[in-house]
Amino acid sequence: MTIIASLLRSAQLTDSPTAQLDAELLLAAALGRSRSYLRTWPERIVERDAAQRFEHYLQRRRGGEPVAYILGQQGFWTLDLEVAPDTLIPRPETELLVEAALALLPATPAKVLDLGTGTGAIALALASERPVWQLTAVDRVEAAVALAERNRQRLRLDNVQVLASHWFDQLADQHFAMILSNPPYICEHDPHLVRGDVRFEPSSALVAGRDGLSDLRQIIEQAPQHLLPGGWLMLEHGYDQAAAVCALLSEQGFVEVENRVDLGGQPRVSLGRLPC
């Protein structure tokens, strides 16, 4: 048998930029405890079964598999979400969409659409903060739709409807006060696609043609048909795509076009309003 502190010291996740955090998360999961437990009881003995689980998790992480996929969950906003390799792992940068949406729309009844919902992260975060909003969350991948629905049910957020749709295809004549999306926006030959955690995430949720803008273009072109007068369109994109996305919004007739920067100071979200 081995103690907690010794197991953490021997984790050897040298290729991970967050090695200590990864080891703590994986050991806490193997023990069925919180990370604070590891710090409070570093001299506690770890039973053989838990130590073997931890080593199995470490082997997967050494192979590059993201911690979120190993554990099957990821925190986003104030929520703990189930994740799976069928969807992107929700990232802190995407919380900027949630913050901006909450700031732009009042806490009064409104219909809001989340395109390409994946785990349901954006829609569920907004629904948890605005019970009077009616959220529609769509994804073209059936496994993602099922995953988002499981998250919705577990979180008991009845003001969200999860649907299968490729962008607006199944939304007919529905109109919304706001449309948000974190669509694919990586160029198909981007070298980052073969590095780090991204290698394990679905390419269909990452890659958007030769310039990374194909899905963004489609959403911007079709959104006016599904926005109420004065409605907002808000899009996450790459750090170097803000100028192109803002130009596309302006060309499509959106006004009050601007972008917002993430915690790293990079322009991460662009938005515009449909004229009244």
Helices (H), 130-268: 142-155, 214-222, 242-251
Q: What are the residues facing 136 on neighbouring strands?
A: 113, 161
Instruction: Yes or no: say if 119 and 150 are a contact pair by the CB < 8 Å rule.
Output: no
Among residues 63, 90, 114, which one ends one of the domains? 63
Closest CA to 110 of 177, 31, 42, 185: 177
Closest CA to 73 of 29, 30, 115: 29
Residue 68 within a domain: no
Q: For the chain, 276 residues long, give each residue's pLDDT as a single digit of tens.
A: 578 888 888 888 877 888 899 999 999 999 999 899 898 888 888 898 999 999 999 999 998 899 999 999 999 999 999 999 989 999 999 999 999 999 999 999 999 999 999 999 999 999 999 999 999 999 999 999 999 999 999 999 999 999 999 999 999 889 999 999 999 887 666 656 556 667 767 767 777 677 889 999 999 999 999 999 999 999 999 989 999 999 999 999 999 999 999 888 999 999 999 998
Residue 215 within a domain: yes
Whole-angstrom Cα distance, residue 31 to residue 121?
Answer: 27
Print the domain residue range for 23.
2-63
Residue 74 within a domain: no
Residue 70 within a domain: no
- DSSP state at residue 90: P
Q: Which helix (H) or strand (E) holds 26?
A: helix 19-31
Mark whether 166 and 225 lie in a shared domain: yes
- Mention every residue, 6+ apart, whose C-beta is less than 8 A from residue 133: 105, 109, 110, 111, 112, 126, 127, 159
pTM: 0.91
Distances (CA, A) of 74 to 48, 66, 81, 111, 195: 27, 10, 5, 27, 20
Residue 245 within a domain: yes
Whole-angstrom Cα distance, residue 244 to residue 146?
Answer: 33
Per-residue pLDDT at 1: 52
Mark whether 137 and 7 lie in a shared domain: no
Residue 118 within a domain: yes
Per-residue pLDDT at 190: 63
Q: What are the residues facing 273 on neighbouring strands?
A: 232, 255
Mark whether 143 and 254 lie in a shared domain: yes
| CATH code, domain with 124 | 3.40.50.150
Per-residue pLDDT at 148: 98
Per-residue pLDDT at 14: 74
Instruction: Yes or no: say if 222 and 254 are a contact pair by the CB < 8 Å rule.
Output: no
Distances (CA, A) of 202 to 41, 108, 113, 197: 38, 36, 22, 11
Residue 69 within a domain: no
